[in-house]
Amino acid sequence: MDLVRLVLGGLGMIGWLRRHADAFRGRGDSAPTVPPMDGALRPNTLLETARVLLRIDAPDSLVATRDGVLFSSSAGVFRLDPQSGTVASVRRFEHAVTCVASSDEVLAVGLEDGSIRLCRAGHDLPALVTLGGQRLVCPTALAFRDPTTLIVCQGSARNSPNHWKHDLMQRESSGSVWQVSITDGTSRRLAGGLAFPYGAALGNGDVVICESWRHRLLRLSDGSATPVLSDLPGYPARLVAAGDGGFWLSVFAPRSQLIEFVLGETAYRERMMRELAPEHWVAPSLSPALSFLEPMQGGALRSHGILKAWSPTRSYGLLVRLDARLQPIASFHSRADGRHHGVTSCVEIGSQILVSSKGGNAILALPAAAGDTP
């Protein structure tokens, strides 16, 4: 027993030494490195120049239904005609809407207070407020597996959806993914210990989720979570199936060396969180900096009043097309000098794709075939 304790203690000591050596040298987990946007992720301006279908405050959670496209904006859920761009209110709630999913009969809506409302024509089903006996805190994404089974992503067990920056800066990994029966409210945890799961989609019978703070996609099957796409250059948000068997991935903010560095500096982060308003933190952002009080864009370059497209930036617009193996094959960008940042969701309607730019306060429409690499 003593020997086991000694070995474990030794291993712990080696791990501790390695972590500190890595932090000292800036390598391993402490390396402030960021993968490049190249290959299929090569920057372009397709998202920036996309047609603006609708200007509305912080649109989010685009969902295709047989009656049109639903999306959320602050405390309301709206229906959008993808052709004309006309909008109709579907439902308003007392709290901000954080995510939406729809089966043919049920509309599931996650709210900022942590509850999930299940709306059905005629009468509503009881709201989901707990999962596995624990209070629901942070519903970030919903997807119907079948008409009675809902996949729920809980981004964090400690922070509400609106406090996502806190969750990142606290380096939380208390998120989880659940499968819930909406008929009897029973739930089963599919995965736990996740760093802000922010999107879920079904692929080949398995659930594929986005783990934002670890910049990767995971396939959940038979109780195991397998990384299928790692080391993304940004923080992934919602994932939806594409018509050709692939997927569309929204990336709501870019990674940067400065932010990676700050994430490795615990004392700095704690003081920053204690003393500054969140919008002024050195952290990812949904929208481009507009206030002079905001921190410099990590060395953003401005020449003759024009911001260079390749400047280091805290906000960015990125939509990625993945193939059936979940590998990137094309991408749509709004770069540092653009405005269509903070892409949180998208939906494919016929030959076009609608994109919610939460940071740019717009819903965009662009041809799905655009961005194909030659």
Q: Which stretches of the chain bind another protein, using CB under 8 A?
A: 24-28, 31-36, 38-40, 42, 227, 230-231, 257, 327, 329, 373-374
The phi, psi pair for 353, rounded to 5°, reads -125, 130
Give the separation between CA 100 and CA 59, rounded to whole angstroms: 12
Q: Report in angstroms how near the CB of residue 34 gets to another protein at its nearest.
A: 6
Distances (CA, A) of 57 to 47, 234, 253, 310, 356: 18, 23, 18, 27, 10
Pairing of strands 343-349, 68-73: unpaired
Nearest residue (CB) to another protein, 309 versus 329: 329
Nearest residue (CB) to another protein, 24 versus 292: 24
Q: What is the dihedral of CA 240, 241, 244, 245, to 10 degrees?
A: 140
Nearest residue (CB) to another protein, 38 versus 57: 38
Q: Report in angstroms how near the CB of residue 29 gets to another protein at its nearest.
A: 9
Asked if 201 and 248 count as a contact pair (C-beta separation under 8 A), the reply is no
Q: Which two tokens stand for residue 68?
A: 């049109």
First to last CA, the chain: 63
Greatest alpha-carbon pair distance for the chain in Å reads: 73
Q: Report in angstroms how near the CB of residue 330 gets to another protein at its nearest.
A: 11
Q: Report in angstroms how near the CB of residue 3 gets to another protein at its nearest.
A: 31
Nearest residue (CB) to another protein, 33 versus 134: 33
Q: Classify 371 as helix, strand or coil.
A: coil
Q: Report in angstroms how near the CB of residue 24 gets to another protein at its nearest.
A: 8
Residue 54 neighbours by CB under 8 Å, 6+ apart: 80, 85, 87, 362, 363
Q: Report in angstroms how near the CB of residue 190 gets to another protein at its nearest.
A: 23
Nearest residue (CB) to another protein, 34 versus 353: 34
Residue 116 pairs with which residues in a beta bridge?
A: 110, 128
Nearest residue (CB) to another protein, 26 versus 147: 26
Nearest residue (CB) to another protein, 101 versus 258: 258
Give the separation between CA 66 and CA 241, rounded to whole angstroms: 16
Q: Report in angstroms how near the CB of residue 366 gets to another protein at its nearest.
A: 20
